[in-house]
Amino acid sequence: MPSPPPTSLSSSAKDRISSLLRSSVESKLVPPFLLSAFTADSELYSKAAGLDKDGNPFGKDTVIRIFSMTKLITSIAILQLIEKGKLTLETEGGAILPGLVSPNILTGYSSEGEPILVPAKNKITVLHLLNHSSGLALDTYSPDLRRYQVERDWSKVTSEERHFGQPLIFEPGTSWCYSPATDYLGRIVEIVSGLSLEEYFQTNILQPLSMSSTSFNLTPLLKSRATLPLAYRDPATKSILSTIPKTNPYAFFDTLPDTPTIQFGAWGLYSTLADYANLVQHLLSLAPNSRVAPKVERILNEESWNSLFVGTLGKESKERLEVVRRVKVPVPGVDWSTALFVNEVDWEGRRKAGSGGWGGLAHTHFFIDPTTGVALIGGTQLLPPDDANVPLLWSKFEEEVYAGLEA
């Protein structure tokens, strides 16, 4: 018989987490930071430390960039369209997006310095795009792709071709690489639904979940709210700068228009951690073992919800995922679902098998553990990604929460 879901967090655990959070920020190990834990119907813990740009306390209603936490929302939109019969997991991306009709694989460069492009044999499906096995890649994972992006004459291609027509780095369905595939999925949502991604999100996900502070657009209302700018850790001094140096490539994000012409489904949303908690808590309430009815009409049916927490990768793709993620998550038994990084084994003293989560470029994080009945969310605004201190803080937070859960 399954254990009853937790109803509270011990006072000693709360004290240890608060002390950890406060000392981490005060010692400048991390910028202003927030940590939250909750069940399907209650908040177990939520505190922040540090000040926003105006000297106000950073908190769960502070507006931030959530970057790749946008991906979950885009994937949910795709699953909703599948539920409506507009798509299937096997729908070929090329049937909707011209850039996916006849993709080429970039295999290297010739001795003359020309890119070697070989036509892909396999078709890219919606599932390939959902689980990052399409062959698309971020150029940070491929020196050849980065060279291609730098050397190509972009003046000769349309905006659609530039953003939704890059070459692949492997045959679709045969490996894994973290990629901009969710940007392509966002475009598919727009084409299939006839709505902009903002319109679709607002109507079908954000408004139903009372996520009123989440948008691709930095509206006057959001700009008037407390915000936390992107900070930057100087790699030489290890000190945290309150703004990104203008000569740094990451300063690109500070130049983006308030209302973007392209709404990127992989990384484009502004939000608050309170808003995102509404989404995560709703998904937690949809678990088959949840003893709490969702507060609003469910945004996914049972089959779609299940797909969020079950791995979808083939053997070769899964092995590649384990290699790529091993540096950050030194455990076996990981996979990718239709939206989330999932662990297939229990992490000792932490989340259980069947949990799913992800994060954003500037160190926001979340995961949902349906078996235990808890979810954690938190983060900051710090670049570059893969900061050494943030994962340590997050891991200690997770361990303290699980050690302090009370039925």
Residues 129-165 pLDDT 10s: 999 999 999 998 999 999 999 998 877 777 777 788 8
Rounded mean pLDDT, 343-353: 94
- pLDDT band, residue 394 (cuts 50/70/90): very high
Which pLDDT belongs to residue 53? Answer: 78
Which pLDDT belongs to residue 233? Answer: 96
Residue 182: name the closest of 278, 78, 41, 294 by CA: 78
Which pLDDT belongs to residue 156? Answer: 72
Which pLDDT belongs to residue 1? Answer: 46
* Total-model pTM: 0.96
Q: Residue 406: in which H helix or E strand, if any?
A: strand 405-406
- pLDDT band, residue 327 (cuts 50/70/90): very low
> How many angstroms from the chain centroid is the CA of residue 81?
20
Residue 273: name the closest of 62, 40, 18, 30 by CA: 62
Q: For a pLDDT cut of 90, what percent of the chain falls above it? A: 85
**Regarding beta strands 33-38 and 43-49, do their DSSP bridges make them parallel or antiparallel, or are they unpaired?**
antiparallel
Q: Are 306 and 342 in contact (CB under 8 A)?
A: no
Tokens of 355: 């949990």
Residues 67 and 364: their CA atoms lie apart, in Å, by: 8
Provide the β-strand partners of residue 407: none
The one-letter amino acid at 100: L
Token pair 């909707």 is found at: 96
Q: Are 293 and 302 in contact (CB under 8 A)?
A: no
> What is the tens place of the pLDDT at every residue in 249-276?
999 999 999 999 999 999 999 999 999 9
Query: 10 Å Cβ neighbour count for 7?
Result: 13
Rounded mean pLDDT, 186-196: 98
Highest mean pLDDT among 53-57, 177-181, 326-330: 177-181
Residue 250: name the closest of 229, 227, 222 by CA: 229
Q: Say yes or no to pLDDT of 371 above 50.
A: yes
Q: What does pLDDT average to over the chain?
A: 94
Token pair 């808590």 is found at: 281
Q: Say yes or no to pLDDT of 51 above 50.
A: yes
Angle at 320 between CA 319 and CA 324, to 5 degrees: 120
Residue 390: name the closest of 275, 231, 253, 271 by CA: 231
Q: Are 161 and 123 in contact (CB under 8 A)?
A: no
- pLDDT band, residue 2 (cuts 50/70/90): low
Angle between helices 11-26 and 389-404 (to 10 degrees): 170
Residues 273 and 60: their CA atoms lie apart, in Å, by: 5
Q: Where in the chain is the domain with CATH 3.40.710.10?
A: 8-69+212-406
Place domain 8-69+212-406 in its CATH homologous superfamily. Answer: DD-peptidase/beta-lactamase superfamily (3.40.710.10)
**Regarding beta strands 382-383 and 231-233, do their DSSP bridges make them parallel or antiparallel, or are they unpaired?**
parallel
